[in-house]
Chain A
């Protein structure tokens, strides 16, 4: 069922049911009108929306190249991912790097590098590298927060790790 926005004629994406004095009132609003009405229950930006924005931004031709990329492990094409929003296998992250990286960057507010936990069976170099990135991010945060004591501790930890 498709609804038009109650306020303007754009397609409604937010559907609310409110009970006022026992009476059920349904509202159908577009994103913009819902925001001005003050009743937005905005879900996270869906991946399909990000993909659309991305294509509009980079232009169809620039993405045509990336669209043809195919994963040789699971056989998925980047264009298929673009339609479904879900990847086919872990290898896709490498196979679609060109198309995927800018997308990840947008979805993750500019971040493209994991600095969290590393599996315990990862090799030492991997563990050290991620720990280093994490400490550097923390150091940046400490300096921004003018927490110089913490920054000094972090610098020592980074040095220690470099010499390990």
Chain B
């Protein structure tokens, strides 16, 4: 498997399957782990960083956690490949931008990704399309177990698993869902969700994690605290106390829109589709914004010409790095805007 193979496949987080996929795009669980007897990254020398990378890479392969596993050496990869991995949610932006020894191992189906030397020595991630947290926690426990048989992780009687940043200490567990909340945004009720989330000690971010904005009404919701509750309890609180309410609010808002604003919804979805089809120059932000409206139209049964699989495919393949990889060269933003518009036009003609 190499990166070029991935280009022509859907990525896990945009597969469009799994429970409640009309609102929940994807679920993710992440564990942070550090090796015993090794400083955290900020205090590692070049040699130590290299040693950590080498050792972890070897152990991960030995643990045979998936049938087909790839390893990408990040510093050895070009900028385009790094961004490509970010767009597929296989690495974080921070991981793409660092300058030290680091890498990522991931399974061919992209459900598992392990970042080496991101903020901690190990960041294990399990990704699932739709709301599938039970599956994700079972899988991440299996992977963690396999690694633990091969490696000793830094652990403290009081603080649990030790991490470079004290906000991750304890379980090292971060659970998140990517939710599509266009109706709440339109009805102006999204702030209620934010308030509820804050009260429930949850964080809300944009599409690509920390510091990013919520483009196209996609929101990433995750737990803030990692200490003082068991892994099981963190997942349980997250998946029973807040997420169902957010899903319910969004579905209700959609229902109200459909009942009271049918023409307005039709107008928005069809205008969005027409703009996507007619544009000669289009940015990725505008594309995501328009696809978000089309997506809502499809889920409300008002946009029968289109299907979710095509929306997801367009969403992924019009991202800057994907677009450039499809054309097999780097392009300036202006050139991309044109290539993107052409690509979307052709793809929509084929529907």
Query: A residues engaging B (CB < 8 A)?
Result: 15-19, 22, 24, 35, 38-45, 47, 50, 73-76, 84-90, 93-94, 100, 103-104, 107-122, 126, 129, 134, 137-138, 141
* Interface contact A119-B190, CB-CB below 8 Å: no
Query: In the complex, are the beta carbons of B155 and A122 less than 8 A apart?
Result: yes
**What are the residues of chain B within 8 A of A109 when measuring CB–CB?**
201, 224-225, 228
Q: Is the CB of B227 within 8 A of A111?
A: yes
- Interchain CB contact under 8 A, B156 and A119: no
Q: A17-B285, A107-B167, A116-B160 are in contact. Are A42 and B203 (CB under 8 A)?
A: yes
Chain B residue with minimal CB distance to A126? B157
Query: What CA separation (Å) do A150 and B92 show in the bound complex?
Result: 40
Q: How many B residues have CB within 8 A of the partner chain? A: 64
Q: In the complex the two chains form, is A117's CB within 8 Å of B227's CB? A: no
B339 at the interface (CB under 8 A from A): no
| Nearest chain B CB to A46 CB, angstrom units | 9
A47 CA to B204 CA in the complex, in Å?
A: 16
List chain A residues, Cβ under 8 A from B333. Answer: none
Residues of B within 8 Å of A16, CB to CB, are: 213
Q: CA of A42 to CA of B50 in the docked complex: distance in angstroms? A: 35
**Nearest B-chain residue to A115, judged by Cβ:** B230
- A16-B213, A110-B228, A111-B228 given; A40·B191 CB < 8 A: yes
Q: Could you name 29 residue pairs across A and B whose Cβ atoms are closer than 8 Å? A: A17-B285, A24-B286, A39-B190, A40-B194, A41-B206, A75-B43, A76-B42, A87-B40, A89-B39, A90-B34, A93-B159, A104-B159, A108-B166, A108-B167, A108-B225, A110-B228, A113-B227, A113-B228, A114-B161, A114-B169, A114-B170, A116-B171, A117-B230, A118-B155, A119-B148, A121-B152, A122-B155, A126-B157, A137-B233
Interface assignment of B36: CB less than 8 Å from any CB of chain A: yes
Interface centre among A19, A112, A120 (most CB of B within 10 A): A19
Query: In the complex, are the beta carbons of A41 and B225 less than 8 A apart?
Result: no
B158 at the interface (CB under 8 A from A): yes
Interface status of B198 (Cβ within 8 A of chain A): yes
Instruction: Report B-chain residues with C-beta under 8 Å of the C-beta of A126.
Output: 157
B interface, CB within 8 angstroms of A? 34, 36, 38-43, 119, 144-145, 148-149, 152-162, 164-167, 169-171, 173, 188, 190-191, 194, 198, 201, 203-206, 210-211, 213-215, 219, 222, 224-231, 233, 275, 283, 285-286, 289-290
Closest partner residue, chain B, to A37 (CB atom):
B191
Contact B148 A107, beta carbon cutoff 8 Å = no
Rounded to whole angstroms, the CA-CA distance of A95 and B228 in the bound complex is 21
CB neighbours (8 Å) of A134 from chain B are 230
Asked if A87 contacts B160 (CB within 8 A), the reply is no
